[in-house]
Structure 1
Amino acid sequence: MPKLFKLSGSEVLAIFAGSFTLLIGFGFRQTFGLFLLPITKDYEWDRTTFSVAAALLQIFWGLTQPFVVFTAERHLGFGRVLFVTNIVYGLGMIIMALVPKTMPGLFIFAMGIIVGLGTSGSGFSLIFATLGRRFPQGSKRHALVIGLVSSCASLGQGTCLPIIRIIIEQLGWKWTLIIQGCICIAIAPLAIFLRTVSQVPAELTQEDPASKDNLSLEELDGGDTEYGDDIESRNTGEETLISNEPQTIHAALKEAFSHTGFWLINICFAISGFHLGFIFTHLPAYVKNQGFDSTHEGK
């Protein structure tokens, strides 16, 4: 155990754990559209049941993310929350597989609420929050790691779809969901490598001496300028350090809501999330139906 605890501080293992968790979490979430036809056919449900469950998953996933990250950062720690949410994610899919055909409401609850809550812990926000603490804010290493780990989510979306499709054809949709659920539960222990650590201090940045050449004599004398009280530090070339002090929720929300970029990125993600969720859910069934129709007409 001491050796495992020591390894849990490894940056390399943290990157691997975060990448693999995103690959599985996002990859499996995008495969649910493959289950629409086999589930509705076997259980003789209309597509409304599955559509409501899929839509509720998207909504619940988005709404719970801020609270999940807050709980991880302020109360339980990132590792514990990641561990629990991965297990919840897996259990939700197993329940989806075991729901009897007479209980569509339980299916909606399992896919929309349980899986939705599980995906909120295996998404970008929680993993980026814990990985970001391991590298200086604004550094090249920080940007490289975030880019590398986020690319694994895209990799999962592209690789899991054909694999899950083959498994459904070979074993059926119920066993496929059970296998996916077991995989999510099996990767839960990777959370030990993503436990909460102290924030690595931001890198020191030296003020550019050449910037002083653009200052007037009045500014160099410390008069009223657009630079305010910071002029003294510019004259002395003093090193400045980005603050690592945690913000209060009120201060963070005030800063976010007053920033145009915050609103724009939220609007973009909302549009992207809903229309991609719709496409991933219904496009596979639509394509398959069109193929059946064409075959039928050809005959």
Structure 2
Amino acid sequence: MSQPRTRAAMWVILLAAAGTFALSMGVRQTMGLFLSPLNTSTGLGLASISLAFAFGQLWWGITQPFAGIVADRIGAGRVLLAGALMVAVGTFITPYMTSTAGLLLAIGILGAGGAGMAGPAVLMAAATRLIPPGRQGIATGIVNAGGSTGQFLLAPLAAALMVGIGWVGAMQAMALLVLLCLPAAWVLRGHSQHPQHPGAAAAPPRLGTREAIVQALRDPGYRLLAAGFFVCGFHVAFLATHLPGVVEACGLPTQWAGWALSLLGFFNIVGSVAMGWAVGRWRMKSLLSLVYATRGIAVLLFLLAPKTGPVVLLFSAVMGVTFLSTVPPTAGLVAKFFGPANMATLFGIVMLTHQVGGFLGAWLGGAVFQATGRYDWVWYADIVLAAGAALIHLPIREARPVRAAPATA
């Protein structure tokens, strides 16, 4: 594929990557709406069905480094094609699964695994390779915002379809909707051995996958980056899973939980795009420290404030701005440190640490509430982890961004 040389070509690439993330993530994030109908239909119990959902969270993270390795070797297009088909098939057959093992296969392995293959590791790497260097920050922000946009738009669509055609028809309609991203696989085809954008700096000699991973794991900055992303996963999964429970524990009506989740998704879009813009202007490690510090302060103020509806909505908006705004600078630092040659692989490993943190955040939130009847100890852990993440990014060695000189006539 010829490299993009026009603004129009750049936007085609961004729309392909962001659109793929919107559909794969959006459909995956709507699955929670079907938990109760699945329980009623199968009679398996919420614990067994939740196991499939929890496994999917972890499998989504495990899939990404391996998808990245394949994308770096044979091309992003083929990986995205396979991932989209897996999401569609897994989602389509879920209503026919009547056992825990069947749900693990459909929701966990096929659905979540396909979403991991068509997820941020592969998409960010493709965008980084194809977009001019000066535009890569805003590009990763736009791609990242695609996932939030998908959740924001597809959740109400799925709910409306459930009312109109039933939960089985709604789920299978979501499966077919994923197929709309198949043309993006052609737009994003190619791999890291293909020539980069003409404006890109000369890349270092390509290392084999094993050598690249060993080199990255020996790099203190990479290890600190992965540790920070673990904290991000803890925060994000706890909020995504337990924010409705937090609202209920505050004694507020159910509709406040819906509004809180909506604001969380909307301001996630705002935060992702804003962070993409900021990446090219300030050091990415400083931006990451700022995001984590903001989270910790927001949680502390929320604990101290009266638990009214407006307070909950303001808290959701602030947390939404920081929700996944860590992704553009994290992906940007991986690309900056190691170049595009093994970008999908190395960012996939960092994404895996994110999902390990996410598994713990979702699980501990429920365990702590069951044991104490409150979420307070998880909030305390949130504050400590946020402070730690804000501090551990500071030693990362990163040069200040070079500002482009203004064009002369």
TM-score normalised over the length of structure 2: 0.54
1:141-156 matches, within 5 Å, as: 141-156=135-150
SS in 2 for 1:31: helix
Quick check: 2:158–2:171 contact (8 Å CA) kept in 1? no
Residue 173 (structure 1) aligns with: 167
1:116-131 matches, within 5 Å, as: 116-131=112-127
Residue 70 (structure 1) aligns with: 69
**Quick one: distance in 2 between partners of 1:182 and 1:93?**
9
User: Measured at CA, do residues 186 and 243 of structure 1 come closer, stay the same or move farther in structure 2, by a change above 3 Å?
Assistant: closer
Segments of 5+ residues of structure 1 without an aligned counterpart are 205-240, 293-299
1:257-289 Cα offsets, whole Å, 9 max, x none, are 12334333333434444664465456669989x
Q: Which amino acid aligns with 1:127?
A: L
1:1-56 Cα offsets, whole Å, 9 max, x none, are xxxx7899943322111110011111122222211112112322211122111111
1:142-182 Cα offsets, whole Å, 9 max, x none, are 22212222122222222222222222232222111101111
Residue 101 (structure 2) aligns with: 105
**Quick one: distance in 2 between partners of 1:250 and 1:7?**
28
User: Measured at CA, do residues 97 and 277 of structure 1 come closer, stay the same or move farther in structure 2, by a change above 3 Å?
Assistant: farther
Q: CA deviation at 1:86?
A: 0.3
**Quick one: distance in 2 between partners of 1:32 and 1:282?**
16
Segments of 5+ residues of structure 2 without an aligned counterpart are 255-409
Quick check: 1:21–1:122 contact (8 Å CA) kept in 2? yes
Q: Which amino acid aligns with 1:128?
A: M
User: Measured at CA, do residues 34 and 122 of structure 1 come closer, stay the same or move farther in structure 2, by a change above 3 Å?
Assistant: same
1:262 counterpart = 2:222: yes
Residue 200 (structure 1) aligns with: 196
Quick check: 2:91–2:107 contact (8 Å CA) kept in 1? yes
SS in 1 for 2:157: helix
State the structure with bigger RCO (CA 8 A, min sep 6), 1 or 2: 1
Q: CA deviation at 1:246?
A: 1.8
User: Measured at CA, do residues 22 and 90 of structure 1 come closer, stay the same or move farther in structure 2, by a change above 3 Å?
Assistant: same
**Quick one: distance in 1 between partners of 2:246 and 2:30?**
15
User: Measured at CA, do residues 8 and 38 of structure 1 come closer, stay the same or move farther in structure 2, by a change above 3 Å?
Assistant: farther
- Of 81, 84, 88, which aligns to 1:83? 81
TM-score normalised over the length of structure 1: 0.72
SS in 1 for 2:177: helix
Q: CA deviation at 1:113?
A: 0.8
Residue 26 (structure 1) aligns with: 25
1:73-109 Cα offsets, whole Å, 9 max, x none, are 213x21111111101111000111222x3x3321121
User: Measured at CA, do residues 19 and 262 of structure 1 come closer, stay the same or move farther in structure 2, by a change above 3 Å?
Assistant: same
Q: Which amino acid aligns with 1:57?
A: G
Which of the pair has more CA radius of gyration? 1
Q: Which amino acid aligns with 2:80?
A: L
Quick check: 2:4–2:130 contact (8 Å CA) kept in 1? no
**Quick one: distance in 1 between partners of 2:103 and 2:12?**
36
- Of 203, 212, 218, which aligns to 1:243? 203
Quick check: 1:87–1:118 contact (8 Å CA) kept in 2? yes
